[in-house]
Structure 1
Amino acid sequence: MLLTRIRRGLALAAVVLTLAAASAGAQDQEGPLHVAARNGDAAAIRTLLAKGASVDARDKDGATPLLVATHNNRVEAAKALIDAGADVNAKDRIHDSPYLYAGARGHNEILKMTLAHGADLKSTNRYGGTALIPAAERGLVETVRLLIDAGVDLNHVNRLHWTALLEAIILGNGGAA
């Protein structure tokens, strides 16, 4: 009798723990490498990669650890991932890549690394724009210079049929975002 109650109690505890883990996973669904990237923990990133973690693993949104690091402007984490061969052009479900996002948000240190490691200058975001278009619209002057110097097409036209100059004039406010 006592043994049966203990077994039932353990079974119930297992179900509760499984549901709690599933609930947390539904919110996060990040692997340890994504967490380390979000937190900027370059040492943990190197350790996880040395233990076999996939440098381009995807989370529930299709983001790689490098994109997560880029979202949070975690330069050292991004460097550790890029040095390990992370794909700077890997796009998530909304068509952001580390290169495109760094350019759009003015994360210039990460942008420089992506440019040095094979950024696809013709790559476009979900709006059909290159990294230059949102950078110009947001008034990110240094970022715009980096992208122009890298060779991004100044006359690329997005889905609205606008160039970076038109976005800057029509949507910009004349200064940094």
Structure 2
Amino acid sequence: MDTTEEDIQRPDPPVVGKVNHHSIELYWDMKNTHQRKVPSNKFIFTIEEEDDKTHAYGTIYSGYSQQHLVKGLEPGTNYRFRLKVTGRNGKYAYSPVVSVATTREPMSGEHFHRAVNMNDEATVLSILQTGYKKINVPDKLGFSPLMVAAQRGFLRLVELLVDHGADINQENGSGKNSLMLACFAGHLDVVEYLRKQGVSWDSRDKSGCTAMHWAADGGHLKVIQWMINDGCKVDVKDSGLHWTPLMRVGAITGNTDVAECLVNAGAEVNAKDKDGKTPLMVATLNNHEDLVRFLIQRGADCSITNEYGISIAKMAKAFNRQNVVGVLEDMKEEIRTYLETGV
């Protein structure tokens, strides 16, 4: 037997190859073992890793290969490895320990969105200060970080994102921007801030709706009052059904306070959509009896018919809106007086 095999000399530590945030490449060759006269397949190579708590070593690879990729590691963590070379006669020797750290996990849009969703201001600021460039990358639902912060009412995050270059006019898949989302959710402080940054009331989503349409859907009176005072139009029609914000109130919330705010600001109570329906008809179909009563009191014309010639009374009966039928019966005298005098 060759004496070189009998007397295993201490090998050099494994050489560190490619390193990323979850793996470390280690390799070695016969030159590293100093056993140059013996073929590599006469040795068994073992890579052992130190446990950072017990400081004991455990085997993570053993065989004839001269390289090993250590996987499943934690980002930004230090690891210690040593090489064990064993001859056919069972004799072995250990190399000195090599210490190597994985890299930090690369920042992704998912991580950034998670921090925004959690309102984790410190983490968001820390990421932004590293020069993170993907500040406008949307999540799986098509919402940018700014949209998420605006919808959730995280004013400080909204300010941070805008200060670091977030696009205030960016739209999601349906065409809604951060201002529309804040209006719908009722976050007045965010609405005020975005307006100061220059977001326009005239922006429309893909269905032609403005921020006022979405504010009406949300039913937040203080937001709507502020929007009106800031010059937002109350009677714009969308591009689909040709609905005004007042019609949206009739379709969704039935909120009479919001309706009164809109009417006081000039919303037309007898406006017609593409099918000839008025806000009164929309409110009737959705059985909002208090809103029906309010609209009639504010001049809604019960004699108007839709494109099929159907009046409000016939519509209420046809769709079995008994509450509205009762309102129309109770207000019959008021309706008659209005039709005769216009007052």
- The match for 2:183 is 70
Task: Spell out the pairing of 1:3-14 with structure 2 (5 A cutoff).
Answer: 3=17
Q: If each structure's helix is expressed as a fraction of its own residues, which one has the higher value?
A: 1
Alpha-carbon contact 2:149-2:157 (below 8 Å) kept? yes
92, 97, 108: which is aligned to 2:210? 97
**Can you give the 5+ residue segments of structure 2 that lack an aligned partner in the other structure?**
1-14, 25-71, 73-105, 114-137, 292-343
CA distance 1:2–1:51, shift in 2 (3 Å): closer
For residues 43 and 52 of structure 1, what CA distance do their matches in structure 2 show? 15
**Can you give the 5+ residue segments of structure 1 that lack an aligned partner in the other structure?**
none
List per-residue Cα deviations over 1:9-43 (Å, max 9, x = no partner): 69xx9xxx89995xx95613322211210220112
CA distance 1:74–1:149, shift in 2 (3 Å): same
Say which one has the larger Rg: 2
TM-score (norm 2): 0.43
Alpha-carbon distance, 1:109 to partner: 1.8
For residues 172 and 208 of structure 2, what CA distance do their matches in structure 1 show? 14
- The match for 1:87 is 200
Task: Spell out the pairing of 1:6-155 with structure 2 (5 A cutoff).
Answer: 25=138, 27-125=140-238, 126-137=240-251, 138-155=253-270
Q: Output the aligned Cα RMSD.
A: 3.3
For residues 116 and 142 of structure 1, what CA distance do their matches in structure 2 show? 16
- Return the letter of the residue paired with 1:144: A
TM-score (norm 1): 0.77
For residues 155 and 139 of structure 2, what CA distance do their matches in structure 1 show? 26
For residues 52 and 20 of structure 1, what CA distance do their matches in structure 2 show? 15
CA distance 1:66–1:157, shift in 2 (3 Å): same
Corresponding residue pairs, total? 172
- Return the letter of the residue paired with 1:33: L
Runs of 4+ aligned structure 1 residues displaced above 6 Å come to: 17-20
Q: If each structure's strand is expressed as a fraction of its own residues, which one has the higher value?
A: 2
Secondary structure in 1 aligned to 2:198? coil
Alpha-carbon contact 2:271-2:278 (below 8 Å) kept? yes
Alpha-carbon distance, 1:81 to partner: 1.4
- The match for 2:312 is none
